Amino acid sequence: MSETAANNPTAPAGRRTVIPFGPQHPVLPEPIQLRLVLEDEKVVEALPALGYVHRGLEKLAEKKDFQQVAFIAERICGICSFQHAMGYCQGIETLLGLAVPDRARYLRVVWAELHRLHSHLLWFGLFADAFGFENLYMQSWRSRESVLDIMEATSGGRIMLGTCCVGGVRRDISPEGLDSVLRVCDGLEKDFDSMITPMMHDYSVRQRTVGIGVISARQAHELGAVGPTARACGLARDHRVTGYAAYGELDFSPIAEQAGDCHARAMVRVRELYQGLSLIRQSVKALGKTTGQPIATPVKGNPDGETVSRLEQPRGEVTYFVKGNGTKNLERLRVRTPTFANIPPLLAMLPGNQLADVPVIVLSIDPCISCTER
């Protein structure tokens, strides 16, 4: 029995127990522990235990040349690695006053949205696995393999692309490569139609998600929720609308649901899969008008001063604080990841639900603890 349970005089004797959920759990491939305070099978409180991962990447960034740090940033999280590198590079470009060429800005969108597809498909497979749908889990990851294959074909890497650099990108995509990207998008759209609709309208899935893990728009706002976790409550917050990279020239709007439950959070990600395909197709079309343009601006000088760079990752808004002192080494790099922001809302979702619902609720925020703790 925890102190919380032991110090509560109103708790029925012998009825309130504490069980650990994680850090190792079949449905939670992330090193976080939730100490669940239960009354019978009902969760009344959730206490987080963090700190299982520490790689010292922020300190390492101070020891390397600022241009090398893009590779370090990329390794904060393998699932959204390109977007981490892009967030860092945007900060350095602001300090140096660099204008990124148009072609590089559209290429950044292509790789960023491919990472969003790869991330959401990974999550969708784990979500299906939580319900025991093993076949659907494998189908989702088979579609994800198509995304990884096209990332490898266009960059040389399946997860860590290494293509984003200060001033633009390191690699171009040939017209034949862009045609391959479009063919993959067409195939993915057919895959989505065949597996997502049956999953999201399945009776057992709706029983386990609709009305489960609910938070209101006010709670989401007060607790600092970001990404699909916030948009599922009706808060249409998507940092892509600020127009960084080439998003300002593309046609899209934030995807939002209203219910604030597990089903709404899942639907936001499902709809973003289709939106990602649309953004990639628009970017490929725009790239046809930038043939022959440079893909990077030469870097001169060292960063001096401090700035904040923000962008939208698959899980929500990530913030990069970059401080330079005029030398090749940064004085400070600080990263605030979306899962860090979504843990307080998660703790508000759990009380009042059954123990059996906990894995689904946790997966509904798509946690990534390794990048949160770095």
Whether 5 has a pLDDT exceeding 70, the answer reads: no
pLDDT (average), residues 182-197: 94
pLDDT at 224: 95
CA distance 373 to 290: 39
Whether 361 has a pLDDT exceeding 90, the answer reads: yes
pLDDT (average), residues 69-83: 92
pLDDT at 14: 52
Counting Cα atoms < 13 Å in the Cβ hemisphere of 272 gives 35
The angle formed by the CA atoms of residues 97, 88 and 188, to the nearest 5 degrees, is 115
Residue 141 token pair: 């990851």
Q: Which residues contact 111 (CB under 8 A, 6 or more apart)?
A: 82, 151, 154, 155, 161, 163, 164, 169
Q: What is the pTM of this model?
A: 0.93
Whether 119 has a pLDDT exceeding 50, the answer reads: yes
pLDDT at 9: 42
Measured between alpha carbons, how far is residue 312 from residues 150, 190, 240, 272, 319 in Å? 22, 26, 6, 12, 9
291-350 per-position pLDDT tens digit: 999 999 999 999 999 999 999 999 999 999 999 999 999 999 999 999 999 999 999 999
Whether 29 has a pLDDT exceeding 80, the answer reads: no
Higher-scoring residue by pLDDT: 15, 292: 292
CA distance 287 to 154: 14
CA distance 367 to 22: 13
Q: Give the pLDDT band of residue 372 (cuts 50, 70, 90).
A: confident
Counting Cα atoms < 13 Å in the Cβ hemisphere of 188 gives 31
Q: What is the mean pLDDT of the chain?
A: 92
Whether 96 has a pLDDT exceeding 60, the answer reads: yes
Using an 8 Å Cβ cutoff, are 315 and 338 in contact?
yes
pLDDT (average), residues 228-238: 96
* Residue in this structure with the two tokens 């490569």, named with its chain if needed: 177
pLDDT at 308: 97
Q: Which of 115, 284, 277, 85 is nearest to 190 (CA)?
A: 277
Whether 252 has a pLDDT exceeding 70, the answer reads: yes
Ranges 7-21, 152-166, 190-204, 279-293: which has the least confidence: 7-21
Whether 13 has a pLDDT exceeding 50, the answer reads: no
Size of the chain, expressed as the number of residues it contains? 374
- Kindly list the structural domains of the chain, giving each domain's residue range(s) and its CATH number in brackets, ordered by start: 3-49 (no CATH), 57-373 (1.10.645.10)
Whether 82 has a pLDDT exceeding 80, the answer reads: yes
Q: Give the pLDDT band of residue 151 (cuts 50, 70, 90).
A: very high
Kindly state the greatest CA–CA separation across the chain: 75
Residue 215 token pair: 């938070």
CA distance 350 to 118: 27
CA distance 255 to 263: 14
* Residue in this structure with the two tokens 């012998």, named with its chain if needed: 14
Neighbours of 298 (CB within 10 A): 8
CA distance 105 to 158: 21
For the beta sheet containing 330-336, the strands, ordered from the edge strand earlier in sequence to the opposite edge, are 304-313, 316-325, 330-336
Q: Give the pLDDT band of residue 8 (cuts 50, 70, 90).
A: low
pLDDT (average), residues 225-243: 96
Q: Give the pLDDT band of residue 132 (cuts 50, 70, 90).
A: confident
Q: Give the pLDDT band of residue 78 (cuts 50, 70, 90).
A: confident
pLDDT (average), residues 216-222: 96
Ranges 13-17, 183-187, 217-221, 292-296: which has the least confidence: 13-17
